[in-house]
Amino acid sequence: MTVRHVVVFRFHPGTPADRVEALRSELVAFSAALEPVLTYDVGEDLGVNEASWDFAVSATFADVEGYLAYRDDPEHQRIIRELVAPITAERASVQLAI
Amino acid sequence: MTVRHVVVFRFHPGTPADRVEALRSELVAFSAALEPVLTYDVGEDLGVNEASWDFAVSATFADVEGYLAYRDDPEHQRIIRELVAPITAERASVQLAI
């Protein structure tokens, strides 16, 4: 059962663009090196809808175990602690079978 | 520029499963019939993380115009009005370039 992991973020007002770009580039590098990641889309909101949040990840894994290996990877946890937590006001995620 | 549209929902507590399934199946039918939709993943949260929200869509379009045609399609607006709005407590979305 392929799993799609979707997560959206709202950052604190005034978050500098370079902090967001650092997060994006570290997630790209981390996900590209992690075997259980099948696909990984990540980036800033395009500004099409005024109500949209600021940033999203949509990734796929071969199974729940692959998603959990990603979620719990120490490098991922470091990125969350050092790059996500300081700038994040709200976060919402869903994991669905596809 | 391919666009990925990500949206997550939290439903009102006690929302009946058949209301969620009706929403899912109508979105599948609608999206399958709409030419600008390149890919469309939709479904309920698997329950892997306690803090996860309830339902998500992750879809791709060839460009922003394709996404807007989906967003503004009268059948989509009917589904939002009749099947999404009555059961939705919170909604968050992001559109990103991929």
* DSSP code string of A36-62: TEEEEEEEE--SSSTT--SEEEEEEES
What pLDDT score was predicted for residue A23? 98
Name the residue among A41, A53, A98 with its Cβ closest to that of B98: A41
Whether the CB of B92 is below 8 Å from some CB of chain A: the reply is: yes
- Tens of pLDDT along A28-83? 999 999 999 999 999 999 999 999 999 999 999 999 999 999 999 999 999 999 99
**Taking CB atoms and an 8 Å limit, are B48 and A64 in contact across chains?**
yes
In Å, what is the CA distance from A35 to each residue of A29, A31, A73? 12, 8, 11
The pLDDT assigned to A69 comes to: 98
Q: Is A94 on the interface with B (CB under 8 A)?
A: yes
For A57, which residue in chain B has the nearest alpha carbon? Answer: B6
Residue B19 CA to residue B16 CA, distance in Å, equals 6
Cα–Cα distance between B13 and B86 in angstroms, integer? 12
Q: B44–A96: do the CB atoms touch at under 8 Å?
A: yes
pLDDT digits (tens, 9 = 90+) for B27-55: 999 999 999 999 999 999 999 999 999 99
Which DSSP helix (H) or strand (E) runs through B60? Answer: strand B55-61
pLDDT of residue B68: 98
Residues B77-96: pLDDT tens digits? Answer: 999 999 999 999 999 999 99
CA dihedral (A14, A19, A20, A23) positive or negative = negative
Instruction: Reply yes or no on domain A3-97 having CATH 3.10.310.30.
Output: no
- For residues B61-80, average pLDDT: 98
The minimum CA-CA distance between B70 and chain A, rounded to whole Å, is 13
Separation between Cα atoms, residue B67 and residue B5, nearest integer Å: 8
Q: Report domain extents, chain A.
A: 3-97
ipTM (interface predicted TM): 0.96
Q: In this predicted structure, what is the pLDDT of residue B45?
A: 98
pTM surpassing 0.90? yes
- For B17-27, how does the pLDDT look when each residue is reduced to its tens digit (9 = 90+)? 999 999 999 99
